[in-house]
């Protein structure tokens, strides 16, 4: 957060402190501050001087002209709502900040053969360990980046995920196939304290670098899909569901607060579709 502090205005500083007091994650703090800053920059004035008409104009600009992703628009809405309600103490503004409905989209999934190809293609041992850990434990990229060597519990065969999304700790399985790979990687690199250090080694690897590793591995494996860390997490959940693991257990492994979030994987599981006959199959049709 040091780089943020260096260019703080009093209002931005206050919003930062408001977010920190409510224990928002560093990622969310950066996103909210950036969202409000972009809003102010669009009109060339402090956001405390902007009202309902400017909020509406800016939202239309994001949708109609800039055509940003709906997830980005939702994040901007959340940032503005927090800013007006908490930092400025103007809760009446919330009714003027339209909250869009998220479009329901199905996640892209890799087949098990595609995952196997992806995990074996990197020659770099660290890169192979990163990709395998993402898939084997179903981690978010932020959770992988902050893994420490001490989080590996080989006696209990679990990985400890500290302060995942929503500031929650949880345990996930440590695959018997992952453990020897991590031991080989540790013996070669001797990382400490971060399991996957970045540059400098005293800091964890960045999410941007993990995205690059995923993309490069996908290209090297000649996969037709664009590979990113969350794709491996989606594949982890879907492959567990296809193997017969119940939805509630998958929810706990993924760290979802709501079972509804986890249930989206039902829509992409072939077993669910194949187990449900079409009503056409019950019609007494005669073959022509």
d(CA 36, CA 16): 11
d(CA 68, CA 231): 21
Asked if 140 and 233 count as a contact pair (C-beta separation under 8 A), the reply is yes
> 267 catalytic, yes or no?
no
- Please, which residues have CB within 8 angstroms of residue 3's CB and are 6 or more apart in sequence? none
d(CA 207, CA 213): 10
111's tokens: 């087949």
d(CA 35, CA 237): 31
Q: What is the dihedral of CA 267, 234, 225, 212, to 10 degrees?
A: 160
> Considering 140, 146, 234, 239, which one is annotated as catalytic?
140
* Closest by CA position to 144, among listed 152, 46, 219, 217: 152
> 230 catalytic, yes or no?
yes
d(CA 251, CA 232): 16
> 233 catalytic, yes or no?
yes
89's tokens: 């103490």
* Closest by CA position to 181, among listed 144, 133, 146, 137: 133
Asked if 179 and 158 count as a contact pair (C-beta separation under 8 A), the reply is no
d(CA 223, CA 256): 29
> Considering 12, 127, 233, 239, which one is annotated as catalytic?
233
> 165 catalytic, yes or no?
yes
Whether the upstream peptide bond of residue 200 has omega within 30° of 0, thus cis, is yes
Q: Is the dihedral of CA 192, 197, 201, 205 positive or negative?
A: negative
> 12 catalytic, yes or no?
no
Q: Is the dihedral of CA 124, 153, 148, 241 positive or negative?
A: positive
By annotation, the residues acting in catalysis are 140, 165, 230, 233, 256, 265
């Amino acid at each position: 957060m040091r780089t943020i502090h260096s260019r703080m205005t009093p209002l931005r500083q206050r919003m930062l402190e408001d977010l920190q007091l409510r224990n928002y994650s560093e990622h969310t703090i950066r996103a909210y501050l950036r969202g409000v800053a972009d809003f102010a920059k669009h009109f060339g004035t402090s956001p405390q001087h902007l009202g309902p008409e400017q909020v509406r104009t800016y939202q239309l600009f994001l949708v109609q002209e800039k055509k940003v992703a709906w997830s980005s628009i939702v994040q901007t809405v959340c940032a503005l709502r927090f800013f007006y309600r908490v930092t400025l103490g103007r809760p009446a503004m919330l009714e003027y900040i339209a909250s869009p409905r998220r479009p329901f989209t199905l996640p892209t999934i890799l087949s098990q053969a595609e995952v196997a190809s992806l995990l074996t293609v990197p020659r770099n041992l660290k890169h192979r360990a990163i990709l395998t850990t993402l898939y084997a434990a179903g981690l978010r990229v932020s959770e992988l980046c902050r893994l420490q060597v001490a989080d590996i519990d080989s006696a209990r065969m679990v990985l400890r995920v500290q302060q995942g999304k929503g500031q929650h700790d949880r345990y996930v399985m440590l695959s018997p196939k992952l453990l020897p790979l991590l031991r080989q990687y540790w013996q070669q690199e001797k990382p400490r304290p971060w399991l996957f250090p970045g540059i400098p080694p005293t800091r964890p690897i960045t999410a941007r670098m993990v995205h690059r590793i995923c993309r490069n591995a996908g290209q090297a494996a000649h996969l037709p899909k664009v590979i990113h860390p969350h794709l491996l997490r989606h594949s982890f959940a879907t492959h567990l569901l296809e193997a017969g693991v119940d939805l509630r257990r998958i929810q706990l492994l993924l760290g979802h607060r709501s079972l509804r979030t986890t249930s989206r994987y039902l829509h992409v599981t072939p077993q669910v579709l194949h187990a449900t006959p079409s009503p056409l199959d019950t019609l007494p049709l005669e073959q022509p």
